[in-house]
Structures are given as C-alpha cells and as structure tokens.
C-alpha cells in the first residue's frame, strides 16, 4: 500500500510541475514516465526458471511432485513426464491401482509403463496441475524425466549458452 501511495505522490508532484511550466514536450515526457511507473507497479511477476547445464551435458533440476522433492532431468525426447517407481511411491501415488500397459523405450531398453496424472508438478515458480505422466516398474529407470507433457504447457523454453530457460504463461 505504501508503494502505491508513493507512486501517487510522485505522479502528483510531476504533474504539478509540468502544468506549472506548460511545456508540451515536458508534459509528454512526464506522461511517458507516469505510464511506465504504473506499468512497472502493477505488472505480474514473470514465471520463469533457469536451469544450468550439468557437467555431463544434461539439464538436471529438483521438482516437487505432489509436494515431494524429486530429482529430474529435462528430456525433450520423452513424450511424457516419466517417474521411477521409487519416486512415485514417495509422492504417494496409488501404485497398487496402476496397470502397466504402455510400451516405452528407455536407455535400458524396452519396458512397460503405467499412465497416471500428477495432481501438482512444480519447478521453482512454475506450477502445473493435472500433468499426464508415466511410471515405470521398480528398477527399470534410475532417473525421473521431465518430458513434453510438462514442457508443452510452457509459453516457451529455450537453451542459451549453458542455461535452459523455462517461461510459463503469466
């Protein structure tokens, strides 16, 4: 509230000074300044996350799945978020109800996976709900993958130098 009051006071002082001098150029500049101040004051914070490249070339991060922290690696070749059995169990997912009927190819070879929906998947400030995911059986994978079922929900993502930038919708 005090920030808004301060902005209003600055605006009133600027407007008063400009009117007193009556210079059209100064009035235009003051108007631009006031517009920019108001825009900056009420702009929504950007939803973005930077992920540094690891020493072995991957983009690894810590995610929160249904409130549980889990390591993940970005994998644009994975059509979905893929969780290890261990991570799914830690996140409290109903593993006993799952049906492993989806054929998948992993770094370790061919396996079956089960479909499910994550209530909440958060990467820093980026929070997505009802994210489609797959779970592989116990021992089939060592790493959780942040695949396209999450990345497709972003406004954009890009690699610049050794950083991956994820930009969520405002």
| Domain boundaries defined on the chain | 2-42, 48-167
Query: What is the CATH architecture of 48-167?
Result: Beta Barrel (2.40)
Q: Give pLDDT tens digits for 124-164.
A: 999 999 999 999 999 899 999 999 999 999 999 999 989 99
Q: How far is CA 118 from CA 115, 131, 148, in A?
A: 10, 5, 14
Q: What's 19-56 look like in SS3?
A: HHHCCHHHHHHHHHHHHHHHHHHHCCCCCEEEEEECCC
**pLDDT band of 106, cuts 50, 70, 90:** confident
What is the structure's pLDDT at 109? 85
User: What is the model's pTM?
Assistant: 0.73
Secondary structure class of 8 (helix, strand, coil): helix
Is residue 159 within 8 A of residue 40, CB to CB? The reply is no
Distance CA 85, CA 63 (A): 16
What is the structure's pLDDT at 65? 97
Predicted confidence (pLDDT) at residue 167 exceeds the cutoff of 70: yes
Q: Which of 133, 125, 77 is nearest to 102 (CA)?
A: 133
Predicted confidence (pLDDT) at residue 5 exceeds the cutoff of 70: no
Predicted confidence (pLDDT) at residue 54 exceeds the cutoff of 70: yes
């Amino acid at each position: 509230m005090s920030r808004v009051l301060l902005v209003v006071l600055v605006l009133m002082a600027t407007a008063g000074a400009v009117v007193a001098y009556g210079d059209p150029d100064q009035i235009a500049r003051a108007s631009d300044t006031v517009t920019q101040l108001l825009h900056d004051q009420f702009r929504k914070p950007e939803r973005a996350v930077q992920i540094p490249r690891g020493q072995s070339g991957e983009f690894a991060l810590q995610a929160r799945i249904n409130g549980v922290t889990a390591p993940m690696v970005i994998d644009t070749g994975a059509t979905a978020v893929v969780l290890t059995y261990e991570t799914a169990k830690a996140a409290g997912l109903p593993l006993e109800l799952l049906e492993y009927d989806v054929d998948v190819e992993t770094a370790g070879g061919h396996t079956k996976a089960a479909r499910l929906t994550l209530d909440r998947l958060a990467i820093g400030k980026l929070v997505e709900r009802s994210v489609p995911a797959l779970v592989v059986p116990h021992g089939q994978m060592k790493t959780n993958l942040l695949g396209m079922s999450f990345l497709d929900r972003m406004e954009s993502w890009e690699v610049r130098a050794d950083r991956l930038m994820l930009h969520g919708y405002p």
